[in-house]
Structure 1
Amino acid sequence: MDSAEVTRVAADPEAFERLVDPLRRELQAHCYRMLGSVHDAEDAVQESLVRAWRGLAGFDDRGTFRAWLYKIATNRCLTMIEGRGRRALPMDLGPGSAPNVETAWVEPYPDSMLGSTQVGPEARYEAREGIELAFVAVLQHLPGLQRAVLVLRDVLGFSAREVADLLDITVASANSALQRGRTTVDRGLPAAGRSRPRLDDDGVRALARRYASAWEAGDVEAIVAMLSEDAKYAMPPETEWYEGHHDIRAFIVEGPLAMRRRWRFLPAHANGQLAFGTYLWDDDRAVYVAAGLDLLALRGTEITEVVSYLTPEIFSMFGLPDEITEELPAQR
């Protein structure tokens, strides 16, 4: 925008809304990567847009309006990071770690809220990779500045000069923070890295059908056979998690499939990953009721990680019903 356009928009709230609306979803995804929480991201975006509206006089046409909004949103996220502890997944606590009542979990993110993001030429990650649960979780290990620089450079593809301008630091400082951040992320992400299969791959679709069918049939051996030898299984907000075929099999037999519990799985869309809404049969109500949102990480056609969020109150965000009849799954 030039100065005349700024003056016009500043005098017209509806014009401001029309201007920012196409950028709202990509800003929210950016704040989610920074904060690991849908709700915190929503708060950050809302506060950032209020600040942008009030500070329009401070915008100049030396840079793009989009970059200016990213600057405001990133700085708001950095302030929020300073004010609370980092989010995590249960596996981040380490085997045998003592539960911490202050622990806040990395939350799942609805694909429907992603929209389209403008990605610059210097991006290292595809849009899907930049929102996957493991990636967002490892970002939470980075100090705020490293987190901001890595997301702006490697996910959004801003140049080193642009990032330095957005964060009011030198190019040398931006490059240094980026290298340190990359070291942590490369160490924390699964070795499979960018070899993840696409969700529209025929093999992935077949795996999804087999996985849901195995759970619905109560076939624990079929479930375990789809897991990699080093697979992990976690259930936020529970702190316990399981690793490897032996421990995961024992957990499933003694927990979810104990007493011949009956399950139904519905496909969901979360974090660009294979996901399911899971439902447990309720004899008294004669319906399947929402139990958890499962996100699966893949390596080839093996499942390397299952994170089952035992928070059915989030189902509406993912377009999932709170309950289903026994007949509904057969209609898939």
Structure 2
Amino acid sequence: MADTAAPAADPADDLVRARAGDDAAFTRLVEPLRRELHAHCYGMLGSAHDADDALQDALLKAWKGLGGFQGRSSLRSWLYSVTTNTCLDAVRRRGTRALPVDLGPSSERTVADAAPRTDVAWLGPYPDGTLGAGPLAPDARYEQREAVELAFVAACQHLPGNQRAALLLFEVLGFSAAEIAEIMRTSRASVNSALQRARAVVAERVPDRTQQQTLRELDDDRLREVVTGFSTALERGDADALVALLTEDVTWSMPPLPQWYRGLGPVTDFAVRVPLTGCGSWRHIETSANGQPAVACYLRGDGSDVHRAWSINVLTLRGARIAEITSFIGQEHFPAFGLPAELPPATNGTFVS
């Protein structure tokens, strides 16, 4: 039987159709770039929700302004110009996002009744399930997953918007200084200055080894032992099992709670007093966030027969131990990961894999 599948649309033809008002053709043009554009928005804004809004706004601007695209650069470059400037507008309106470690020193004593801070724009987790493993451009320094790692994104939040944009466009996406100057509507000298300043700030805040480098040195079985061991220790209230997984200088933070803990003693005391004994029953789903292993936590309180979404716990590893636990508390984080808001009563044990 002859192959009757429709031939793939020609991008040049789709561009003509899109300029004539064909929204399906425009969708075909931008769809291959949508995921990387979204990751770029997250790198700029530090929030998956803000990235959704910014990308939607940028693509609407691109659709309306497609007639002004003259083809002097690639469509990808033009879309990054529209998207980057949309994000810069958002940065000017909303400011930057933070983690608890940015707000002050660690707490030496456990705060069991901590209240969330609503006056802080908090950094959020990023669902990375469809991100590619390789660089977006041959001369990009950071791989796609490295570019959304918590340490890198948090460091970028300490940069002014123009420096943040220049760094991401150059180091992650592989644009040249001349291309970035056109994208950001500035001079090449300004771009080079912004890059120099941005690199200095980021170098002080990002570990020498990325999580991707660490994870590549761990075999799958050992990684699963660490992640499953963390989940099981919380579910069973097993402090010894949890401590065995942690580095001596481990940190645990829980945005939007401002308190955070550093060191095996304070972290263990917090774990014993709060999640291991003071919250209720836990169940977990293993996932991935920010290019790192993560665990979605579900909590069942008194008088309830279901476990409800509580936090996305992003684990930062050093070797085969957990060096940082960042618990992003809030049900609002779960939909982006495709995770349910609650789990029904378990029929075979309590662990959900």
> Shared fold (TM-score greater than 0.5)?
yes
Alignment of 1:196 with 2:214, yes or no, is yes
Cα distance between partner residues in 2 of 1:278 and 1:218: 14
Query: In 2 relative to 1, CA 182–327 (structure 1 residues): closer, same or farther, beyond 3 Å?
Result: farther
Residue 243 of structure 1 is matched in structure 2 by: 262
> Which residue number in structure 2 is paired with residue 254 of structure 1?
273
Alpha-carbon contact 1:110-1:269 (below 8 Å) kept = yes
SS of equivalent to 1:256 = coil
Q: Superposition pairs for residues 302-321 of structure 1, below 5 Å?
A: 302-321=321-340
Deviation at 1:5, TM superposition (A): 6.1
Give, in whole Å, the separation in 2 of the partners of 1:219 and 1:170: 58
Distance 1:79 1:211, change over 3 A: same
Alpha-carbon deviations, 1:77-122, whole Å to 9, x = none?
111111122101111112169x864211111111236468861122
| Equivalent pair of 1:122/1:159 in contact (CA under 8 Å) | no
Match of 1:55 among 65, 74, 77: 65
* Count of residue correspondences: 332
Deviation at 1:146, TM superposition (A): 0.6
Equivalent runs, 1:37-56 vs 2, <5 Å:
37-56=47-66
Deviations 1:111-144 (Å, cap 9, x if unpaired)?
A: 2364688611221111111111221111110011
- The answer to whether the Cα contact below 8 Å between 2:142 and 2:172 also exists between their aligned partners in 1 is yes
- Structure 2 distance, partners of 1:4, 1:310, is 47
Contact 2:300 2:306 in 1 (8 A): yes
Task: Give the Å deviation of 1:6.
Answer: 4.3
Q: What runs of 5+ residues in structure 1 fail to find an aligned partner?
A: none
Any stretches of 5+ residues in structure 2 without a counterpart?
A: 1-9, 108-115
Provide the rounded CA distance (Å) in 2 between the counterparts of 1:66 and 1:309. Answer: 33
Deviation at 1:226, TM superposition (A): 1.3
Cα distance change on mapping 1:262 and 1:167 into 2, 3 Å: same
2-structure distance, mates of 1:314, 1:87? 16
Distance 1:118 1:127, change over 3 A: closer
Compared with structure 1, are the counterparts of its residues 327 and 144 closer, same or farther at alpha carbon in structure 2 (3 Å cutoff)? same
What is the aligned partner in structure 1 of residue 252 from structure 2? Answer: 233
- Once residues 126 and 273 of structure 1 are traced to their aligned partners in structure 2, the CA distance between those partners, rounded to angstroms, is 13
Q: 1:210, CA displacement in angstroms?
A: 1.7
1:318 alignment partner AA:
F
Structure 2 residue identity aligned to 1:196? T
1:8 corresponds to which letter in structure 2? R
The one-letter amino acid of 2:203's match is: D
- Residue 17 of structure 2 corresponds to 8
2:334 is paired with a residue whose SS is: helix
How far did residue 28 of structure 1 move? Answer: 1.0
**Structure 1 residues 118 and 62: CA distance shift in structure 2, 3 A:** farther
State how far apart, in whole Å, the 1-side matches of 2:224 and 2:77 are.
38
Q: How far 1:29 moved relative to its partner?
A: 0.9
**Greater mean alpha carbon deviation, residues 260-269 or residues 124-133:** 260-269
Counterpart of 2:88 in structure 1: which amino acid?
A: L
Letter in 2 for 1:222: A
The structural deviation recorded for 1:45 is 0.9
TM-superposed CA distance for 1:176, in Å, is 1.7
Q: 2:89 maps to which residue?
A: 79
Contact 1:268 1:320 in 2 (8 A): no
The farther-off stretch of 120-129 and 321-330 is 321-330
Q: Determine whether 1:183 maps to 2:192.
A: no
Residues 1:326 and 2:346 aligned together: yes
Q: Is the 8 A contact 1:9 1:16 kept in 2?
A: yes
2:285 to 266, 276, 285: 266
- TM-score scaled by length of structure 2: 0.86
2:112 equivalent in structure 1: none
Rounded to whole Å, the distance in 2 between the matches of 1:138 and 1:285 is 40
* Preserved CA contact (<8 Å) 1:280 1:288: yes
Q: Which of 33, 44, 52 is matched with 1:23 structurally?
A: 33
| C-alpha distance in 1 between matches for 2:144 and 2:315 | 18
CA contact (8 A) 1:197 1:299 kept: no
In structure 2, how many angstroms separate the alpha carbons of the residues matched to 1:295 and 1:147? 23
Q: Residue 293 of structure 1: SS of its match in structure 2?
A: strand
- Contact 2:135/2:143, CA 8 A, preserved across alignment: no
Question: CA separation in 2, counterparts of 1:212 and 1:131?
Answer: 23
Given candidates 78, 89, 95, the residue that maps to 2:99 is: 89
- AA matched with 2:343: E
Secondary structure of the residue aligned to 2:129 is: helix
What is the TM-score of this pair, normalised by structure 1?
0.91
Q: Given the alignment of the two structures, is residue 285 of structure 1 paired with residue 304 of structure 2, yes or no?
A: yes
Preserved CA contact (<8 Å) 1:278 1:290: yes
Q: Distance in 1 between matches of 2:134 and 2:86?
A: 20
Q: Aligned partners of 2:309 and 2:298: how far apart in 1? A: 5
Offset of residue 312 of structure 1: 2.1
Q: Name the aligned partner's letter for residue 81 of structure 1.
A: V
